[in-house]
Structures are given as structure tokens and as C-alpha cells.
Structure 1
């Protein structure tokens, strides 16, 4: 599991203030509950864990010679807005996430082309795929494959990791992905509503994380995506643009890319500083797509031997 910890925590707290945190329900939120087995921790800026730094030691190598579960060759994203609490979306997260994924394809999306150098079905330890293996394919149409507002009942106020995984399984059933085959490319982004505390957020020191879970539909890849704007303006991003949505855009692009390149963590692509996004937590860029401009986090490129925001 890769955790994308909060950025700009001090700025977020300064913006919200103690009173605002109490109004949001944070004063009583649970302490850190993230499992120590989580992979690729992206630290909270200003938190107790230092942020990863891009170096030559960040070079990614593949952790398995398997031909499935290593990467997601043709990524498909399913957005799951969990719980009746989504009737309240003060920052406009739901339309923003949909617009971002509707634009992450084609020639205008040069950020996504960073991913197509990575592959599966090659020898463990490979760092350059070349023409070998099955590569990630840059989408020629939107990777957004489905949107579900699961609002028949309220989501747990403080969902556990197991409950988040169970919601991903429920989503797979909802979307009709009931065998392993479609779930070799599907990633389920479980988005929690404002004021909720999935896996201890925000006091657990992360912005989001991704993982896998076993089910009757096969092994599923999913993301725990809290309501990042609750951390305040400029939370979970290194940009200081005053946008409430920049942090969640940066966070979700981090998790999306890490899921694509380490689909069932951690048999995919990892390096000395973790997964593809972990070495690049200090790089955010406001990028124009066909559906608008969004804060996309930089990713590690073996080809460039550096963090980059375009392939």
C-alpha cells in the first residue's frame, strides 16, 4: 500500500484554525491507524516523517516476473463516492475528480505518458523494459470507466481499512466486474465525504493510500481517498495557489500513477524511495488538460533519471 501523506500541514492548520477543525469534526478524529505494512509512504510535510528526495537511488525496478498484477496495462478508473454524506460537497470534489480523469488521455495529456515506459512480464529486477513485456498503454480515451454515488446509507464516520476495502469489492459488483479479468485493469477510488475520517484521516499523517484486497471477484486494486480539502487550502500539495482542489488533484494523481505501476503492491515498480510518486512528493505542477487545468504531481521516470511532469 502506498500512502500519500499530507503536504503543507502547517499551512492547512493555519488556514482552518482549531475552531474550524472542531467544526469539521477533526477534534475527535481517531489517532494514526495506518498499518505499518503500508508501502511507499509519502510523508506529511512538516509532520514527523521526512519527505522522500529524488536521487539516482529512486530508480525503479520491477519486483516480480509475473505477467499480471504488476502494472495496469490499460488503466480504468472507477470513482466511488461513498455514503449519503456526499450530499454535502463544499469544495466541489465530485465534479472536479470526474473532469480530471476525463482529461487524462490523448495528445494533450503528456503527464500520463510518463507511465508507458513501465511494463510487466519481464525478469524481476528489470529497470528498462525497452520493447519487452506488456507496457502500460497511454489511454486514447478517458480512463474514467464509471462513477457511483453509493448514497443509500451513510458511510462510517471513521472507516477502517477493511471497511474501505469492502466498499471497493461492493463497487466491483456494482459495475459488473465480477471476475478477475476486468479487475486486472480496474482501480476503485473510494472517496470519503467531508467531515469523515477514513483510516484515521487527517491525524494518521497521510493524504491517501492505495492497496489491494482479495474477493470473490479476484484481487482488486483500490484507493482510500479522504476529503483532502478538509485539510485546508494548499493541504497535500506543494503549490500555494489558494485552490481548495489542488491538494486532492495532486494526491489522486499520485495514487493513480502508483496503482498503474504497482497494481498489486508491492510486486510492481519500486525503488529506493518507494513507488513512482514517492520520490517526487515535492514536485507539483498546474497542467492544462482538455477538460481544465489541474494540479498533477511529478513522477519518477527511469528514462529521464529524474522526477518529471511530462513524458
Structure 2
């Protein structure tokens, strides 16, 4: 059975904030031992399982809030953490940039799945209709910035608090120093080959996403390890022999879950978890303007099924 996400919030620890120069900040809770959201489990070369509709997969909005439920105009910031990125044997860095550069417009029929979800509607809503503020399908690339933070080596075994601190450092780097721009920004902290962020790969996950408090407001971020280190076909249900399929599937899982459950877990969840959790056994190559990529299926309330196009 797939691993399902468990409720937790990773907040920057005092030491992490002090390292950024915010010694006076006091965290609400610790991060390193916490569990996180959107945990995609490792699996290799698994044939796609049945994606028959299940009532427990229907997503419901967890809050009537008008902020932090979804990301109405998604913006992705890729952070390639540490001087270890001088080595990238699988070509992860150019691949991730190419994928996000293509996730927009009429050719991206996968991303249109997200536009049915919204914020600013009653808690428990399952169909937004014309109500609320919907996720907008991007008309240009959602990739808002790329940063190779190579001034020093990243920790070889980074804790959750250190990953969250890197997300805050990225917010500062990109000039997102107030809450307003961070209502749509998601920081994808990508670790280099041979590193072990939050225990990867022995911890059994491909990636996870969460939120963290910071001097710049609440931030949405993803811990994206170097998935090709799990081997060819790791973290995908396709058996195509591509080293990059697993990380593409993994990051599209996390991207979609961040967009629809921006500050976990007040966004869209169901009996099977977030939008990607019910559909971990559905992967498909999707042709975008920048190439073909392994995108994971997502749960669609309107279709009452896992789908790879809206």
C-alpha cells in the first residue's frame, strides 16, 4: 500500500534562523523529526494499477480561508543546493528547468486539472463551480527563478530544519521578502547526487512538501532529493529505463500538491490524501513544448478519477 502523508508542520528551528541572521525569532515547533505532506513513497518499475474511482479519493477543502489554501497563480523557484551540483550525472538541473518551462499554455493539458480547485469557499466544499478564487492555468512558464546556491557545500545529511532554512534563504535571494509574493511562490530545494536530505533514500520517500514560518511570512517548500540515486525507474510506475522519469513524476506530484494544499493542511485533501496521493500508480509521458516528461496522474473531483489531462 502507498505511504500516505501524515499531519505535521515543519518550522524553522532557532539555530536555522540564527544562521540566516534572525537570532531573535522563536519557532512554534521543531522540524527535523516531523513528518510531512505529500510523501511520495519509493517504488520501481511497477505496472500501473487500477485507477477506478473511489469515493474516499474525493477532495474537500479544509478551510474557508482566502489565503494559503491554494496557489492561484503558481510560481516555482528551483534551488539547486550546494557546491555538490558541480556533478549532475543524470542531468537533473536542465531537465527540471525544461519541464517547468513547458508547464503552461494550450499544450499543457496536465496542468489544467488543477484549475477546478479554489480557495475562499466554505470548508468541506468539493465543487467550486464559479465560486471562490481558482487556480489559474499558467499562460507562461511558472518557473519564476533558478538559483545554484553553490557558495558552500550543502549538508551531506540535511535535517528538515536545514531544508526549511534553505527555502527561507531562497526567498531572500529572490527578493520575496514579504508575505504577498510568498502566497504563490513554492521553493523546490533540490539536493545533489550523493546527499541524503532528511534520510533519503533509506527513509523510503521520493520527496515531500510542507510549509515553514520565516521572517518573510509562511513559505511553501519541497524537499526534492536526487531521485536518480534510487536507480533507473525509481519513483515512477513506468519501466522505460530513463534515469529522469522518477524525478519528473515525483516533482509533478509535489508541485500539484503544493498548488492545491499550499499551507498544509488547510487545502484540498480526501480520504486518500492530497491530489497526487490517490494516483501514485498512474504515470504517463506528456508532450510539452519543451519535450516529453513523465507526469504523475492527479485526482480530479470533476472526473471522479485519477487523470493525466484536464
1:191-218 Cα deviation digits (max 9, x unpaired): 0000000000001110000000000100
Q: Does the CA-based 8 Å contact 1:4-1:255 persist in structure 2?
A: no
What is the aligned partner in structure 2 of residue 39 from structure 1?
37
1:273-311 Cα deviation digits (max 9, x unpaired): 000000000000011000000000000000000000000
Q: Distance in 1 between matches of 2:145 and 2:133?
A: 25
Q: Distance in 2 between matches of 1:74 and 1:202?
A: 32
Q: Does the CA-based 8 Å contact 1:80-1:188 persist in structure 2?
A: yes
1:68-122 Cα deviation digits (max 9, x unpaired): 0000000000000000000000000000000000000000000000000000000
Residue segments in structure 1 that go unaligned for 5+ positions in a row = 6-32
TM-score by length of 2: 0.87
Q: Does 1:220 align with 2:225?
A: no
Q: Does the CA-based 8 Å contact 1:4-1:207 persist in structure 2?
A: no
DSSP-derived class of the 1:204 partner: coil
What is the aligned partner in structure 1 of residue 22 from structure 2?
none
1:45-71 Cα deviation digits (max 9, x unpaired): 38xxxx997622100000000000000
Q: Does the CA-based 8 Å contact 1:186-1:221 persist in structure 2?
A: yes
Say if 1:107 and 1:274 are closer, same or farther in 2 by CA, change over 3 A: same
Q: Does 1:124 align with 2:126?
A: no
- List, as ranges, runs of 4+ consecutive aligned residues in structure 1 with deviation greater than 2 Å: 33-46, 51-54
What is the aligned partner in structure 2 of residue 198 from structure 1?
197
Q: How does 1:7-26 map to 2 (within 5 A)?
A: none
Aligned residues, how many? 278
Q: How does 1:1-311 map to 2 (within 5 A)?
A: 35=33, 37-45=35-43, 55-311=54-310
Give how far 1:4 is off: 8.6
The RMSD of aligned alpha carbons is: 1.8
Give how far 1:35 is off: 4.4
Say if 1:255 and 1:308 are closer, same or farther in 2 by CA, change over 3 A: same
Q: Does the CA-based 8 Å contact 1:43-1:52 persist in structure 2?
A: no
TM-score by length of 1: 0.86
DSSP-derived class of the 1:71 partner: coil
1:19-55 Cα deviation digits (max 9, x unpaired): xxxxxxxxxxxxxx97464234433338xxxx99762
Q: Distance in 1 between matches of 2:222 and 2:207?
A: 7
Higher helix fraction (1 or 2): 1
Say if 1:57 and 1:4 are closer, same or farther in 2 by CA, change over 3 A: closer
Which segment is superposed worse, 256-265 or 33-42? 33-42
Q: Distance in 1 between matches of 2:245 and 2:119?
A: 32
Q: Does the CA-based 8 Å contact 1:117-1:135 persist in structure 2?
A: yes
